[in-house]
Amino acid sequence: MIKLIAMDMDGTLLNKHRGISWGNLRALRYARSKGVTLAIASGRAFFDIESKMTEFDMETHLIGANGATIHSSDGKLLGADFLNRDEALEIVKELAEQHYYFGVYSEHHIYVPEEGTTWLREELKRLGIHEDRSVGFQEATRADFYRFVEDWDIFKNRSTEFSKIIIFSYDDEKLKKARDVYEAKHKYSIVSSGTGNFEIMPPNVSKGNALDHLAHYLNIPIDQVMAIGDNYNDLSMFEVAGVSVAMGNAHDDIKAVCDRVTKNYDEDGVAHAIYEEIGYPDGERA
């Protein structure tokens, strides 16, 4: 019997409007009524996930920044890991010099280069691309969590901790070049959470390790955990969870490693996965 369900957000729980459908919300509440504990496991920052869950009045444990932070449903910090600050500042300076757009995650904000959106527009023009490939460009225009930085040296004498750096580019070759550089250092955990990005995190940080930690904290055997996701940063969850479910919109190689495949994120795939595992409400069947 599944006791804990961990879900990715973007491309999984959230629909194309970045909301939670009534079908998914109803299924989550049904699972809770059956004694199942819920957790969100996202590449987003803790405060971003918390804001979204509060919006839908949903009580969940929160795994943020791909596992760099773990919070209980009442907001208690259960675990956190951070990049070496000097190394992180060296990385962002290198990226800024080469006009990469990136976001640096801290406890309360996501710091982005002041000229970053200009660099993305220049890439679009140079490559002749006329549409956003969902690398996060639109997200970066939000003013609530983001802070624009011109001189990264301002952090030298601050105590700000960084949990991850996410790098965006519309240029696949340019993105691969940067990823190869930091992977070659063999000192970071690096994953992709979508088209046109990769993320640099402290070593051994992953959604899977965080989910294992959370399950132990809740005294739930890992074989009684179900993980639902759609992208490469979810693979570590699939490896540890007792039941792994890929979204219908996931790539085929992600589907291949999962126990089951559900419907896509705009067809209430999370709800269908939940009902298939714990049963449908009385008198109902999808």
Q: Is 4 helix (H, G, I), strand (E, B) or coil?
A: strand
Cα R_g (the chain), whole angstroms: 19
Residues in the chain: 286
SS (H, E, C) 43-108: CCCHHHHHHHHHHCCCCCEEEEHHHCEEECCCCCEEEECCCCHHHHHHHHHHHHHCCCEEEEECCC
Asked if 246 and 229 touch (Cβ cutoff 8 Å), the reply is yes
Structure token digits, residue 64: 């943020």
How do beta strands 189-191 and 197-201 pair? antiparallel
CA 204 to chain centre: 16
Task: Work out the angle between the directed axes of helices 22-33 and 269-278 (0-180°, nearest 10).
Answer: 30
Does 8 qualify as catalytic in the annotation?
yes
Asked if 32 and 274 touch (Cβ cutoff 8 Å), the reply is no
Q: Which residues are catalytically annotated?
A: 8
